[in-house]
Amino acid sequence: MEAFITLTHGAGGRESHDLIESLIVKKVPPLLRHALEGHGLDVLDDGSFIKVGESFIVFSSDSYTVKPVFYPGGNIGELAASGVLNDLVMMGARPVAFLDNIIVEEGFPLKELELIIESLVKVLKENNVSLIGGDFKVMPKGSLDKIVISGFGIGVSQGTPIIDRVQPGDVIIVTNNIAEHGAAIMASQLGMDAENLSLRSDSKPLVKTVLPVIERFRNHIHAARDPTRGGLSSILNEWVKDREVSIIIDESKIPIREDVKTFLEMLGIDPLTVASEGVAVLSVSRDVSSDVTVALKSMGENPQIIGEVVIPEEPAQKGRVLGLTEVGGKRVIKGEALNLPRIC
Amino acid sequence: MEAFITLTHGAGGRESHDLIESLIVKKVPPLLRHALEGHGLDVLDDGSFIKVGESFIVFSSDSYTVKPVFYPGGNIGELAASGVLNDLVMMGARPVAFLDNIIVEEGFPLKELELIIESLVKVLKENNVSLIGGDFKVMPKGSLDKIVISGFGIGVSQGTPIIDRVQPGDVIIVTNNIAEHGAAIMASQLGMDAENLSLRSDSKPLVKTVLPVIERFRNHIHAARDPTRGGLSSILNEWVKDREVSIIIDESKIPIREDVKTFLEMLGIDPLTVASEGVAVLSVSRDVSSDVTVALKSMGENPQIIGEVVIPEEPAQKGRVLGLTEVGGKRVIKGEALNLPRIC
């Protein structure tokens, strides 16, 4: 283990998971990794839950450090609300309440803070989610670059929340074009005019479009995640890690806008490692997969079946994500995250 | 309204409350200030709650930005866990689960992070609280001064949670010596050797000592808060704000260690404005007040009755906190917080 924290530790890929595993999870006795008949650190998923009577109460929490604070397609307030609500949706839970912890640097313009909070509240209002608490702190000038927000979401799940466990025979569905959030933030961070490049964050809550589909097909959806930090490759790798299965992806099927692809190619970055903030990845029984895509389309999404979960014949392929190449071969898609900080 | 955020906005006094009221609470439609038959932003208390079946699920969240990260008597990890659990206790809830959102500056020593997390987990373990989730982010060198932690606590209350509403005839009980956390942090921030000065933070969880007393006398306790940011004066003022009552305090009864008092006098600081992190303030029916102090003493606390809630004869005294002076007069104790950042 290295002696100092690096940016890679926070990038959402394998190094992040290894650090969290060794530094946090292992310090907690197994009995205290979950509470009240629920799941917590025992299953590293989008959220955790407890059971109260017959109800499943689901929780998610994330910190947002995105830079710049305002970017094409959104701002840190809208992102914090959408991101936390989406993690509840990925558990199959309907978001009901939110708490916001805001830390601001002394000297931050009040008008900008107001815009950020209005964006956050707007997302909550439009999705009928209550704001029931939070915290507000100010750090002296120079000790924080502008603002960070931690959001805590509370949801209720009808039926057991979705604990990711892909099954052989599942197909992998992506609900919309990938990598748009990450590309827009990268362009902004590089000082490029992302707006003129037509790059915009895809950040949006999935409560109205994806949650109804998850609720309807709940028993056939074996895993659901939003590919934020670490992108699609990171999530697919988590799903097969230490399992007997592998996921095979037809990369030509992955929905991505041409301008996003060109921009990322220019930088030499694999779009599979780049964050989306308004997209879900679902692992679904093959027999309902076309019903699921039809339902997602009717909600205005642009779903694509991009691959499948298989039991590989070659042992070396177990626990791996494989991409079909144009020449009919396979490449290993690794779960290494893009080492670019403050994407979300 | 000023054009920029100042340190006073984050100090926990009246300016903090006014900002939160205008910038956050007012932006949220009244129906979305609470959820599921519970309370949230409609009552600015230590925590919020929802009702699930016959159970009250209580939530609290706070961000910790304390500087230095390690100080005499504790560190930011221990503080985050104790602080969040104490807010649940002040609602009359038994803490069951915790989520930690950690943001670290690139280059932070791994060994120190490990100590911080071990301290946090130790508090949870000793109080039988599960760690069920969280988030871990890294910010580039220079964009964050070391580390901040946001904690999210989940508790269960037997019976309606305590929503602060002091009653005429109540007495005010402080469970232990005040101002020790703030004094220790101030000494450290000023570069003094707090350890040699014998100043130590009082930070500790109140789950084992104060919660059992609150649970036993629940129906007779009309308000309970821990006097952190803003200190005792801030809380007492919140309790009487816009009410017909006033609180009269005998300042000579307030428990405080002599060295803490001397140190703060030296700096010209009123101890009533200084943060404690292991103390509760209770507003209790007079008829059970001696039973409550006996019970608290038996748990190892050092409780003192410091004042009472009255309906004042003079209208000018309504909604005010008054301190009895040594010459038998009264001074107004204002709810203005000490403008010292990163105390907690």
Residue B46 pLDDT exceeds 80: no
Q: Is the dihedral of CA B100, A104, B42, B82 positive or negative?
A: positive
> What pLDDT was estimated at residue B15?
83
CA distance B120 to chain A (A): 10
SS3 call for A95: strand
Chains A, B: CB contacts within 8 A come to: 297
Q: Is the dihedral of CA B88, B151, A46, B43 positive or negative?
A: positive
Question: Which chain A residue is nearest to residue B4, measuring alpha carbons?
Answer: A109
Nearest CB among B20, B27, B145 relative to A118 is that of B27
Q: How far is CA B164 from CA A47, B84, B305, in A?
A: 31, 18, 18
Evaluated on CA atoms B102, B105, B107, B113, the torsion sign reads negative
Which residues of chain B have a CB within 8 Å of the CB of A7? 106, 138, 140
Query: What are the angstrom distances between the C-alpha of B136 and each of A63, A129, A144, A145, B20?
Result: 8, 25, 17, 17, 27
Tell which of A104, A136, A147, A343 to mutate to test the B interface (max B CBs under 10 Å). A136
- pLDDT averaged over every residue in chain B: 93
Angle at A192 between CA A191 and CA A194, to 5 degrees: 125
Q: Which of A11, A40, A100 is nearest to B99 (CA)?
A: A40
Q: Tell me the pLDDT of chain A (344 aa) as tens digits.
A: 559 999 988 887 788 888 898 999 999 999 899 998 888 888 777 789 999 988 999 999 999 999 999 999 999 999 999 999 999 999 999 999 999 999 999 999 999 999 999 999 999 999 999 999 999 999 999 999 999 999 999 999 989 999 999 999 999 999 999 999 999 999 999 998 877 788 999 999 999 999 999 999 999 999 999 999 889 999 999 999 999 999 999 999 999 999 999 999 999 999 999 999 999 999 999 999 999 999 999 999 999 999 999 999 899 999 999 999 777 788 899 987 777 889 89
Residue B124 distance to chain A (closest CA, Å): 9
Which of A34, A54, A97 has the CB atom closest to B130's CB atom? A34
Q: What is the 3-state secondary structure (H, E, C) of B74-105?
A: EEHHHHHHHHHHHHHHHCCCEEEEEEEEEEEE
Radius of gyration in angstroms for the set of CA atoms belonging to chain A, rounded to a whole number: 19
ipTM of the complex: 0.94
- What phi, psi does B50 have (nearest 5°)? -125, 165
Q: How many other CB atoms are found less than 10 A from the CB of residue A40?
A: 27
Partner-chain residue, chosen from A60, A143, A148, that has the shortest CB–CB distance to B145: A143
